[in-house]
């Protein structure tokens, strides 16, 4: 009886409902998952899948993670695989890299990427460059993950975006997910990747729920690193963004749609290697480009995208100069009003779109 | 003279109880000896402790291969004898017709042993350029003249034990292990199969029982002997190690077998020559950039490797050529890497500081960064449960780095099987230890980690300490720290002459008093574990190997430009890399 009701209510799920032979009232396909839980699931699944995978970082074990991302993992996997470290980033990042060299697959968590600066030598000189320096003898399969960029009220030393810094270096892959599906698929891909991957999360996104597709719930769901996704189709202008700013772009696009401006929103997903092709294809369609990011403008992600556009085939398709919407070029202040005005807001995006389109 | 001979006979009879050959032949030879002896007035015994005694034997050209028979032309004997090198188990019958080869030597026959010794001796003697009588003496060796070394049958020393243990390497690097390739077992060990030597333990405290001077004739004969006569192993006193948070330290005595000694000698000499060659090539501008030379510190690398297995792991800083060698790299690969050629161990892409082999993680340019890496390797060893450990080296300059203390903390907390080794060569670049460290007791700097201070110029001391440390780690007690007190002859790198912050006299003093290779050589020679000629022969071989390697390193082509962008990512599909301008798209494969 229940399955009949299912069938009547949502035809598209009928087959799956019948095949699964479950009796439940709600359509099973789309599930609401927060980014935090998606990350947790990804790590859980990968820890289960490969014995060599382990997690180390500050407070990841008994504290369940500083932001609760690794909740439950220590209880499930124990001390050997979920390791609490002392507050010694350079030391434990080096240990993680050494373990990767010797055959394990560590996930090294930085409580925020600001602290990764303590260990940046290990990330760049010991992890990123080693495969090249050894001419292919010594791979380093490691993931460095943690929250990146601005949070809320944490002030200057805890709000820097490191996407540009890490993306500068060959030998690293730099990934920046936006929603839950991104988070899960990309983290799984990063853990399975045999190369050093810097996985930039966002603290403000942790608690945001997203609908996650059927496919994304599978244990083998992996999003390829290096491929951007078009979140919203459009024809007047292309908005390229990563991480939390993708959400803002979509919100701005919704507002602009009411005025008849159709924005194409691209979620970069991976910063390095950059999916220039996706951006170029889109620009060749819309003829206008804006990049949106939370980090500082000088030598930032947007700067790189614009440079590539200039050097590539899409330049000829631009009807207006491509511009960047970025964080303000200052250390992050504390007071709410100041902080709010230090990072792009929806109104800034809308303003820039209209300027670019000369509206 | 007769008394001499009879003493010899009596001495040998009492010492070894071996059978004597037939009286008649003995007598004949004795008479011949007498005849000759009377002709030659001066016979001085060689100086035992002369570090470079005048060679009374010409260097054998091919000691390992069978030689043509050497007729004893001076001997008016009616027993033409064909003598062959004792590298083979052929035996020569003294009474036999000249050109016949006799049967395989049986280990049960003392006669055959003596004869084989005779043959060896003849081989040696015939190549000498010395007085006639010495050649004539050779037939006397029918009688076992040596009171010392040729003795009763004892179970043949297993050649297997003497072979260096080489872990089976299935790595991507197909480099041969230097311990087998560049250090072939010396001829002496070939003897080991059938010629068995009793275990004689010598200690530096006692006089090594070399033949007595009054048995001049016999003495000459003894010294003219070959591999059969050498002491198979000896025990040496080594310096006591200073201890920190340890009850007991490494043993105060180290046993060295002849084979080990020759192997260490060869490896150290290879290292020394290789570094000096690199110096030369750098001055010719064939090597560029950084070149940090290891000469003076050879005992550290060789001693450490002798204390661990190839299945263990090792990581060091930038003064890494020596370790690349002990860890499985060949001289050719190392030198070609220094000159940046495609035959280099990292295909020319790494250079001096970035050489890797299986279970050897370089070669690291950032001072101190290798220490956490090493602890990470140790973590993996513990995690994977393979009873391996990681040796993690750093210098006195790096010892003050914060990340090293972070590593001590974590290694100790998690009981990682890690041996931290500080190679204290007294200078961190140009800064002496007194000017850089508030506490120069580097072995104590681990605080809660037990430590030892070791004489790093003595390969045996390093080996014993490493074995002790390895035992500590493998038994699950956690990390341990070793400070090796050593010295580098060159400056910090090739751009540093090395004399602005230290005196030439200091360098000279260390070179003359504590050189690791000389120390080993002296030990071996004074205990009759090797002959001067043998060591010289090794030197010649090493020199040749280095020359060949240098030749290769200077003539091998540079890496192809196609290789420029390769090896960015592992196990990835090919990707496009931007060149120097937007129109240049280069290809990168894994």
The residue of chain B with its CA nearest to that of A276 is B576
pLDDT average, residue stretch A248-262: 98
* Residue B435 main-chain phi, psi, to 5 deg: -90, -10
Q: A-chain residues within 8 Å CB-CB of B413?
A: 86
pLDDT average, residue stretch B469-473: 97
Residue A123 near residue A166, CB atoms below 8 Å:
yes
**How far apart are alpha carbons B411 and B280 in whole angstroms?**
41
The number of C-alpha atoms within 13 Å of B211 and in the hemisphere containing its C-beta is 28
Determine which of A80, A118, A127, A134 to mutate to test the interface with B (most B C-beta atoms within 10 Å): A134
Contact criterion met (CB < 8 Å) for A135 and B572: no
Between B163 and A21, the more confident residue is A21
pLDDT of residue A30: 73
3-class DSSP state of B293: coil
Mean pLDDT of chain B: 76
pLDDT of residue B52: 44
pLDDT band at residue A65 using 50, 70 and 90 as cut-offs = very high
DSSP state of B56: S
pLDDT of residue B229: 79
**How far apart are alpha carbons B524 and A99 in whole angstroms?**
42
Residue B67: pLDDT over 70: no
Which range has the worst mean pLDDT, A19-28, A206-215, B373-382, B497-506? Answer: A19-28
pLDDT average, residue stretch B103-112: 42
Residues of chain B with pLDDT > 70, as a percent, come to: 61
Provide the annotated active-site residues of A: 89, 158
Q: A-chain residues within 8 Å CB-CB of B409?
A: 86, 88, 91
pLDDT average, residue stretch B98-112: 41
Relative to beta strand B253-257, strand B233-237 is antiparallel
* Interface list for B 295-354 with A (CB within 8 A): 313, 315, 346-350, 354
pLDDT of residue B445: 97
Q: B-chain residues within 8 Å CB-CB of A134?
A: 346, 349-350, 354, 356, 362, 567
* pLDDT, tens only, A163-195: 999 999 999 999 999 999 999 999 999 999 999
pLDDT of residue B216: 42
* pLDDT, tens only, B170-206: 334 333 444 444 444 444 433 334 444 443 334 444 4
Between A25 and B542, the more confident residue is B542
Residue B72: pLDDT over 60: no
* pLDDT, tens only, A326-347: 999 999 999 999 999 999 999 9
Instruction: Note whether B369 contacts A: Cβ–Cβ < 8 A.
Output: yes
Instruction: Note whether B380 contacts A: Cβ–Cβ < 8 A.
Output: yes
What ipTM does this complex have?
Answer: 0.90
Residue B354: which of A54, A133, A141 has the nearest Cβ?
Answer: A133
**How far apart are alpha carbons A135 and A123 in whole angstroms?**
18
**How far apart are alpha carbons B25 and B37 in whole angstroms?**
18
Residue B113: pLDDT over 60: no
pLDDT of residue B164: 39
> How close, in Å, is residue B400 to chain A by CA atoms?
14
Helix (H) or strand (E) holding B277: helix B258-283
Say yes or no: domain B234-559 is CATH 3.40.50.970: yes
pLDDT band at residue B274 using 50, 70 and 90 as cut-offs = very high
Residue B122: pLDDT over 70: no
Helix axes B298-307, B258-283, angle to 10 degrees: 140
Residue A72: pLDDT over 90: yes
> How close, in Å, is residue A289 to chain B by CA atoms?
20
pLDDT band at residue B6 using 50, 70 and 90 as cut-offs = low
* Residue B108 main-chain phi, psi, to 5 deg: -85, -15
Give the global pTM: 0.75
Between B21 and A267, the more confident residue is A267
pLDDT of residue B139: 41
Residue A141 near residue A148, CB atoms below 8 Å:
no
Out of A20-34, A298-312, B22-36, give the one with best mean pLDDT: A298-312
- Record the tokens describing residue B152, joined without a space: 């009763």
pLDDT band at residue A95 using 50, 70 and 90 as cut-offs = very high
pLDDT band at residue B367 using 50, 70 and 90 as cut-offs = very high
CA-based nearest residue to B270, from B163, B182, B344: B182
Please, where in chain B does CATH 3.40.50.970 lie?
234-559
A–B CB contacts, 8 A cutoff, strictly below? 157
Residue B119: pLDDT over 80: no
Q: A-chain residues within 8 Å CB-CB of B173?
A: 137
Residue B58 near residue B181, CB atoms below 8 Å:
no
Mean pLDDT of chain A: 93
* Number of Cβ within a 10 Å radius of residue B401: 18
Which range has the worst mean pLDDT, A51-60, A340-349, B31-40, B570-579? Answer: B31-40
pLDDT of residue A275: 97
pLDDT of residue A294: 97
The residue of chain A with its CA nearest to that of B407 is A91
pLDDT band at residue B114 using 50, 70 and 90 as cut-offs = very low
Residue A61 near residue A93, CB atoms below 8 Å:
no
pLDDT average, residue stretch B407-434: 97
């Amino acid at each position: 009886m229940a399955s009949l009701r299912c069938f009547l209510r949502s035809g598209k799920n009928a087959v799956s409902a019948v095949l699964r032979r479950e009796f439940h009232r709600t359509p099973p396909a789309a599930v609401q998952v927060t980014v935090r839980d998606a990350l947790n699931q990804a790590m859980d699944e990968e820890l289960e899948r490969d014995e060599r995978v382990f997690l180390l970082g500050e407070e990841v074990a008994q504290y369940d993670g500083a932001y609760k991302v690794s909740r439950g993992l220590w209880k499930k996997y124990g001390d050997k695989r979920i390791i609490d470290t002392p507050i010694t980033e350079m030391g434990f990042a080096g240990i993680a890299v050494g373990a990767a060299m010797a055959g394990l697959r560590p996930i090294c968590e930085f409580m925020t990427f600001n602290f990764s600066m303590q260990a940046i030598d290990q990330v760049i000189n010991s992890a990123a460059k080693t495969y090249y320096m050894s001419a292919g003898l010594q791979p380093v399969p490691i993931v460095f993950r943690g929250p990146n960029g601005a949070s809320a009220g944490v002030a200057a030393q805890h709000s820097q975006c490191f996407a540009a810094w890490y993306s500068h270096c060959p030998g690293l892959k730099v990934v920046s997910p936006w929603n839950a599906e991104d988070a899960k698929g990309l983290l799984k891909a990063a853990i399975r990747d045999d190369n050093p991957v810097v996985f930039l999360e966002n603290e403000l996104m942790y608690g945001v729920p997203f609908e996650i597709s059927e496919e994304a719930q599978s244990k083998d769901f992996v999003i390829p690193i290096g491929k951007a996704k078009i979140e919203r189709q459009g024809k007047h202008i292309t908005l390229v963004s990563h991480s939390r700013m993708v959400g803002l772009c979509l919100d701005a696009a919704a507002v602009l749609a009411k005025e008849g401006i159709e924005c194409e929103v691209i979620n970069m997903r991976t910063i390095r290697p950059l999916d220039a092709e996706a951006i170029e294809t889109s620009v060749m369609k819309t003829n206008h480009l804006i990049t949106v990011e939370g980090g500082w403008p000088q030598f930032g992600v947007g700067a790189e995208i614009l440079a590539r556009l200039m050097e590539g085939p899409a330049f000829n398709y631009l009807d207006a100069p491509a511009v960047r919407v970025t964080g303000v070029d200052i250390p992050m202040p504390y007071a709410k009003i100041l902080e709010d005005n230090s990072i792009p807001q929806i109104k800034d995006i809308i303003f820039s779109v209209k300027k670019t389109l000369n509206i | 003279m007769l008394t001499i001979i009879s003493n010899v006979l009596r001495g040998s009879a009492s010492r070894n109880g071996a059978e004597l050959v037939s009286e008649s032949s003995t007598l004949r030879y004795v008479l011949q000896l007498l005849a000759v002896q009377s002709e030659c007035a001066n016979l001085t015994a060689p100086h035992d402790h002369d570090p470079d005694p005048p060679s009374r034997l010409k260097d054998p050209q091919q000691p390992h291969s069978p030689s043509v028979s050497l007729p004893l032309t001076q001997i008016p004997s009616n027993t033409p004898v064909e003598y062959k090198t004792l590298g083979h188990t052929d035996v020569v019958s003294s009474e036999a017709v000249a050109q016949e080869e006799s049967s395989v030597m049986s280990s049960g026959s003392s006669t055959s042993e003596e004869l084989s010794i005779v043959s060896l001796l003849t081989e040696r003697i015939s190549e000498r350029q010395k007085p006639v009588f010495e050649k004539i003496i050779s037939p006397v060796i029918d009688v076992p003249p040596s009171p010392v070394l040729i003795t009763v049958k004892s179970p043949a020393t297993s050649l297997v034990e003497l072979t260096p243990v080489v872990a089976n390497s299935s790595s991507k690097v197909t480099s041969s292990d230097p311990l087998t390739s560049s250090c072939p077992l010396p001829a002496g060990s070939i003897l080991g199969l059938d010629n068995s030597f009793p275990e004689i333990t010598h200690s530096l405290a006692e006089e090594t029982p070399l033949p007595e001077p009054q048995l001049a004739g016999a003495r000459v004969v003894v010294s003219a002997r070959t591999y059969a006569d050498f002491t198979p192993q000896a025990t040496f006193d080594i310096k006591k190690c200073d201890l920190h948070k340890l009850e007991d330290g490494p043993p105060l005595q180290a046993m060295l077998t002849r084979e080990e000694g020759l192997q260490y000698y060869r490896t150290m000499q290879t290292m020394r020559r290789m570094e000096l060659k690199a110096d030369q090539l750098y001055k010719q501008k064939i090597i560029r950039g950084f070149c940090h030379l290891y000469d003076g510190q050879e005992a550290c690398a060789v001693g450490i490797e002798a204390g661990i297995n190839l299945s263990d792991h090792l990581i060091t800083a930038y003064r890494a050529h020596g370790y690349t060698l002990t860890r499985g790299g060949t001289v050719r690969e190392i030198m070609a890497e220094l000159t940046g050629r495609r035959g280099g161990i990292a295909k020319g892409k790494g250079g001096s500081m970035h050489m890797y082999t299986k279970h050897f993680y370089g070669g690291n340019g950032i001072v101190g960064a290798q220490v956490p890496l090493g602890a990470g390797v140790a973590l993996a060893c513990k995690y994977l449960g393979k009873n391996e450990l990681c040796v993690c080296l750093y210098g006195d300059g790096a010892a003050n780095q914060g990340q090293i203390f972070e590593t001590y903390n974590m290694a100790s907390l998690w009981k990682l099987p890690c041996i931290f080794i500080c190679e204290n060569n007294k200078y961190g670049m140009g800064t002496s230890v007194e000017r850089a460290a508030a506490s120069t007791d580097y072995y104590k700097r681990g605080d809660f980690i037990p430590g030892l201070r070791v004489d790093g110029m003595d390969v045996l001391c390093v080996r014993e300490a490493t074995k002790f440390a390895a035992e500590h780690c493998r038994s699950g007690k956690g990390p341990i720290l070793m400070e090796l007190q050593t010295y580098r002859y060159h400056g910090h790198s090739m751009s540093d002459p090395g004399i602005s912050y230290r005196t030439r006299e200091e360098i000279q003093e260390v070179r003359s008093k504590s050189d690791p290779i000389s120390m080993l050589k002296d030990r071996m020679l004074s205990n009759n574990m090797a002959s001067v000629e043998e060591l010289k022969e090794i030197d010649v071989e090493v020199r040749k190997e280095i020359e060949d390697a240098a030749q290769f390193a200077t003539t091998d082509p540079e890496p192809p430009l196609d290789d420029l962008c390769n090896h960015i990512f592992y196990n990835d599909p090919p990707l496009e890399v931007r060149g120097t301008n937007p129109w240049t798209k280069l290809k990168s494969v894994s």
